[in-house]
Chains A and B, each alone.
Chain A
Amino acid sequence: MDIRYFAWLRERIGTGHETIESNAETVADLIEELKARSESHAFAFSDIASLRAAVDQELVAFDAPVLGAKEVAFFPPMTGG
């Protein structure tokens, strides 16, 4: 599964992209797996209320399924316009 990070989340984790093996069923499960990867990951995901997630480029809630997803992305609230 491809994991993408953007903005300050990318900076805190130290990379914008990583490929992982995951058995997570939901976005929330996946976050728990990612937090276990390093201290940077644990710090970056310490306040998930300030984060958003997208599964295969669609914005989703944290209880959304990720089984079978190709790409999951995490990022802060968007600031376009």
Chain B
Amino acid sequence: MAVHVREDAFDPGAELNAFSEGAEGAGAIVSFTGITRDVAEGDLAAMEIEHYPGMTERALTDIRAQAMERFELIDALVIHRHGRLELGETIMMVATAAPHRRNAFEAADFLMDYLKSRAPFWKREITSRGADWVAAKDEDEDALNRW
């Protein structure tokens, strides 16, 4: 299973090492790690991520399959957390393995663009002023037109 939806924390370094060991024949491995940071108006205390169990796994599996085919990847990994995350915690990661670097970079970018606005996750920021749902950005939707 190269798609993981989980509540508990994970070690991106250990995941990347395991992924790299399994990616036989890869000449390039790219990874991206997303981290909870303070962008809220107010003091961000934590982030809560709601998701749609069942559809989340299906959507991520589909996005990964598209990336595998389009960029001729050897392997691709997607890990995304849900539930409560404290500031500085790892939210998610993607890793891609390809014979050459350009495909690995582009596939990671593609995966990120698609999972931002096509995988059913919703972020809520918990701040000193209360809890607010994060609004989707037009630029995230526009980013899909690049592909």
Contact residues, A25-81 vs B (CB, 8 A): 54, 57-59, 73, 75-81
**Total residues of chain A contacting the partner, CB 8 A:** 16
Query: In the bound complex, how far is the Cα of B100 from the Cα of A45, in angstroms?
Result: 47
Q: Which residues does chain B contribute within 8 Å of A79, judged by CB atoms?
A: 116-117, 121-123, 133-136
Tell me the minimal C-beta distance from B49 to chain A in angstroms.
8
Total residue contacts A-B, CB cutoff 8 A:
69
The chain B residue with its CB closest to the CB of A56 is B55
Interface SS of chain B: helix, strand, loop or mixed? Answer: mixed
Listed in ascending order, the chain A residues whose CB lies under 8 Å from chain B are 4, 6-8, 54, 57-59, 73, 75-81
- In the A-B complex, list the 8 residue pairs whose CB atoms are closest, starting with the nearest: A80-B121, A77-B136, A81-B116, A7-B122, A57-B55, A80-B119, A79-B123, A79-B134
